[in-house]
Every structure is written in C-alpha cells, then in structure tokens.
Amino acid sequence: MIKNKIKGLKMTPQRLAILAYLEGNIDHPSADDIYKAVLKKFPTMSFATVYNTLESLKNRGSVSELTIDPDKKRFDPNPDPHNHLICNKCRKILDIHIDYELRVPYEKKQGFEITGNHIKFYGICPKCRRGK
Ligand code: ZN
Ligand code: MN
C-alpha cells in the first residue's frame, strides 16, 4: 500500500518513516502529531520535511486533509470514501464506514457533477462522557 503512495516522490529515510507512521493509522494525526512521532526515530527530522511530505502526498491524493477539527488540520491515509465522528471535547476522530444514500435533487445541483460527500457527526466520545 505504501508503494502506491510514493510514485514519483523521491524517497528518503525520513519520508519513509512518515509513510510508515501513516500506513494504517486511524487516529487522524495532525502534522504536529506526525512530526513528534517520527522525531523519536529521526531526531534530525524537521517540521518542514513533515509538512512538505504531507503536501506531496495530499497532491497525489494519497492522504486527505480533514478540516473537521477547528484547532488543527488532521490527516487521513485511508483512501476509501468514509465519514467521521468527532468528539467535541477531546477532538478524537473516528471513522464511520457506512455508505449513506444521499441524493441532491437535479434542480438543487446547480449544474454540478457531484463526485462525493463527507458527513461529520459531532458528539461526545465514551471516555469524555465518563468524565475520563
Ligand atoms: Zn472525547
Ligand atoms: Mn478517516
């Protein structure tokens, strides 16, 4: 899976470490989370490298950027279309893999060819509900 993500992207050990961290990651990390995690293995890693690698991956469609956390952008390496649950308190983001049959009536499409949708559900996660 990592291999499809790196087509045309020059691979350095740092970039590979970023890819390895993202592979199968379902925590929707921010650029800062990724930086901190990879820094443990690569103390010379710069935030700019993380940022630029994420930009390249994003431009290739290999990761998507989620803007559902108002505090920071989060990254999602899962290429399958899916929806999200976000905790209003701790900002944990979970995947929801349900295909909701949403239709925009023709007269509301305003000429758009619709290619996708994304539903965000807001709430309080079990941990926060228990008051941690
Ligand atoms: Zn929570
Ligand atoms: Mn996701």
pLDDT tens per residue, range 7-27: 677 788 888 999 999 999 999
Q: In the chain, which segments carry CATH 3.30.1490.190? A: 83-129
* 109 three-state secondary structure: coil
Amino acid 4: pLDDT: 53
Amino acid 62: pLDDT: 87
d(CA 48, CA 42): 14
What is the 8-class DSSP label of residue 8?
A: T
Asked if residue 1 has pLDDT above 80, the reply is: no
Q: Which ligand is nearest to the CA of 28?
A: 2
Note the residue count of the chain: 132
Q: What is the residue-averaged pLDDT of the chain?
A: 91
- Which class is 2-76 in CATH? mainly alpha
pLDDT: is 85 or 41 the higher one? 85
Phi/psi at 24 (5° precision): 70, 5
Please give the distance of CA 25 from its chain centroid, rounded to a whole number. Answer: 9
Q: Which ligand is nearest to the CA of 90?
A: 1
Please give the distance of CA 93 from its chain centroid, rounded to a whole number. Answer: 10
Q: Which ligand is nearest to the CA of 78?
A: 2
State the pTM of this model: 0.85
Amino acid 10: pLDDT: 77
CB under 8 Å to 36, separation ≥6 — which residues?
A: none
For residue 71, the CA-to-ligand 1 centroid distance in Å is 14
For residue 53, the CA-to-ligand 1 centroid distance in Å is 29
The model's confidence at residue 113, banded by pLDDT at 50, 70 and 90, is very high
Please give the distance of CA 108 from its chain centroid, rounded to a whole number. Answer: 29
The CATH homologous superfamily of the domain defined by 83-129: Ferric-uptake regulator, C-terminal dimerisarion domain (3.30.1490.190)
